Chain A
Amino acid sequence: MAPLIEIRGLSKVYVQDFLGTEHGRVKIRLKNRRRVALENLNLNVEEGQIFGLLGPNGAGKTTTIKILMGLHFQTSGTATMMGRPLGDNMVKEQIGFLPENPFFYDYLTGDEFLNFYGQLYGMSAAARRQRIPELLKLVGLSKAAGVPLRGYSKGMLQRAGLAQALLNDPKLVILDEPQSGLDPFGRKEVRDIIVRLKEEGKTVMFSSHILSDAEMICDRVAILHQGHLIAEGHLSELLSTRINEYEVQMRGPSAELLEMVRKAARTVVEGQGDYFASFANEKDALEVTRRLASGEGTLMAYTPRRESLEDYFIREIEGKRAQERDAASTGKESAK
């Protein structure tokens, strides 16, 4: 089956003109006036997946999404959605999109707001009358339907934004940082909605900084760094299944034991009377638990830890940065 989103060699270079405005259509090459936001990106998003686009600030996540949604034009490369070119209105009819930190017409009430976007989708008045209350209920805004958006909290606005992205019962939902600025409850609500969309057979692509959430719900992820794709795949492929860390939480260890722990552990942190030690070696961790059991203190917790997406992300990004530093210093030396 053909992928729902297919990106081939996508690049985006922003060029600053003499007014300081950035655009990407004019091929002017002025020194220090070019910014490469995306370089030769290749990606596939398959149907029915939750796909996470991850990366630090300036990685190119939003640029990728903007190009897919026809808000920016690529400098080179191609992309298709549902086998059709970007910007095709037939494709847009089947897509729901929520941008990062969305701003809406705040004088409209929740109901009017969804009605306006329903009209843009070309929905009939009857369809809108049926769909809007359903969506307001889904995102928990039924009671605020008659309140102008200027009276909404950030979390409510984000949920209203989600509702407008789901008005057309889309096949593909693209969300740019949907959890940005939300409290833990808000994040959970967004996460639950994304999972529910997948259960309904929809494909969801979202960008995020919040790796723990991405790890919880994504089938596949792509990690971008400074416009380059540095990793892509199923989480099970990317994350090593082996245990890579053993954490011991202890209370009141003897001075000898503490000395041994400080020598053997990667890190030791003290907090609220407890010591948290992290060991790379299982043997050392077990030795500490044995000595605690024999009366040299109290064992509070012993946790073998698998590599998390955050560990992987930091390892990959730091590796990339180290490579760049090496390349830069080699360049300087050869210049001398």
Chain B
Amino acid sequence: MTGKVLAIAVNTFKEAVRNRILYVLLFFAILILLGAWVASSLAIFGQEKIIRDLGVATINIISVLIAVFVGVGLVYNDLDKKTIYTIVSKPISRWHFLVGKFLGLLLTIFVNILFMTFFFLLVLYFRDFTKDSVLEKLAVEGISGAGLMFYYIKSAVLATGQALLTVGSLGFYETATTQGIMVSSFLTMLEMTIITAFAVLFSSFSSPTLSAFLTVIVFLIGRANEDLYFFANMLVHRAGGVENLAGGQFLTYWFSLAACHVAPNLEFFNQREVIAALGKPEIGFYPIFYGLAYAASVLAIATVVFNRRNFK
């Protein structure tokens, strides 16, 4: 069973990395990260904050765009071109196909997040913001370009592994900035797990355009989740109770409340606070549990929908 899901996942990864949109998005990511360098150079103060915030936001937004624009087409293409006929007629269940697609897309996004993070760390390094004692030591010993690349790849893998084990603190890096960026990228991966699950859910029953639209809506509501909750409560507070809400306000109240309860709370993966806390950034157990459980629930719904449909 695992082998069949993995075969679909690997094939999905092969398919996704052939998508030109992916490279256009990565090109923009590199452009913005380099732009962040220039912008921070022009600032009189807060240079490190500018480059850090821009970089983290870029990695996050580009990841969402990859999930949306690459993700929504993957399931739909197999349905539209009827490739799915020869796949689900093999001894696999339909959920194997969906989970395989999900994992393949997730792998694509994770690889891209790692690539962007690596590039961003390089920008920071050359901008002199992360030259910690370890790197300086390596530099003194005459580190080569390949050696530096190896150092960062090893660091990224180790940091991700450590975070997965919920050690709470990465503690690998000497500087808070590097730690913060690694943690922030890990949180972005968790956030993308949920967004990818939604992209797969929507594309299992609707067109790519509608799927992309719905996935973006979920992302926006998810990001504004706590604000929506605050807004709903503020309406009640001002009116002096739910019973005093006028017709339109009453609908707005229930819509806001329903939206923030149904949509995921992506504030759990908010990187701003992590970056701002220049101490030792920590990842609690809850965001990991929340991300995985939420994505699993969305995939379960996608499976129910997918199991019932006729393939045209």
Residues of A near any B CB (own CB < 8 A): 22-25, 66, 69-73, 89-90, 92-93, 95, 97-99, 101-105, 107-108, 116-117, 119-122, 161, 164
Q: Are A25 and B308 touching (Cβ within 8 A)?
A: yes
Between-chain CB contacts (< 8 Å), 20 pairs = A22-B310, A25-B308, A25-B310, A69-B85, A71-B88, A73-B308, A89-B93, A90-B91, A93-B91, A97-B86, A102-B82, A102-B85, A107-B14, A116-B11, A117-B86, A119-B4, A119-B7, A120-B4, A120-B87, A164-B86
Per-residue CB contact flags for chain B residues 1-24 toward chain A (1 = under 8 Å, else 0) read 001100110010011001000000
**Contact A92 B310, CB 8 Å, known A99-B82, A99-B85, A103-B81:** no
Per-residue CB contact flags for chain B residues 285-312 toward chain A (1 = under 8 Å, else 0) read 0000000000000000000000011111
| Overall SS of chain A's interface | loop
User: Which residue of the partner chain B has the closest CB to A71?
Assistant: B311
Task: Determine which of A69, A93, A101, A120 lies in contact with B7 in the assembled complex, contact meaning CB atoms within 8 Å.
Answer: A120
User: Which residue of the partner chain B has the closest CB to A99?
Assistant: B85
Instruction: Say yes or no: is B92 at the interface (Cβ < 8 Å to chain A).
Output: yes
User: Which residue of the partner chain B has the closest CB to A103?
Assistant: B81
Q: Are B83 and A22 touching (Cβ within 8 A)?
A: no
Residues of B near any A CB (own CB < 8 A): 3-4, 7-8, 11, 14-15, 18, 81-93, 308-312
Q: Are B312 and A22 touching (Cβ within 8 A)?
A: yes
Complex CA–CA separation, A71 to B88 (angstroms) = 8
Q: Top 3 nearest A-B pairs by Cβ distance?
A: A119-B7, A120-B90, A92-B91
Q: B21 to nearest A CB, angstroms?
A: 16
Q: B63 to nearest A CB, angstroms?
A: 24
Task: Determine which of B4, B84, B85, B87 lies in contact with A122 in the assembled complex, contact meaning CB atoms within 8 Å.
Answer: B4
User: Which residue of the partner chain B has the closest CB to A174?
Assistant: B89
**Contact A117 B83, CB 8 Å, known A23-B309, A25-B308, A72-B310:** no
Q: Are A117 and B90 touching (Cβ within 8 A)?
A: yes
Task: Determine which of A70, A90, A102 lies in contact with B86 in the assembled complex, contact meaning CB atoms within 8 Å.
Answer: A102
Q: Are B311 and A120 touching (Cβ within 8 A)?
A: no
**Contact A89 B92, CB 8 Å, known A119-B4, A120-B4, A161-B86:** yes
Q: Determine which residue in B91, B308, B309 has the highest number of CB atoms from chain A within 10 A of its CB, and name it.
A: B91
Q: Are A92 and B7 touching (Cβ within 8 A)?
A: no
Q: B146 to nearest A CB, angstroms?
A: 30
Complex CA–CA separation, A93 to B88 (angstroms) = 12
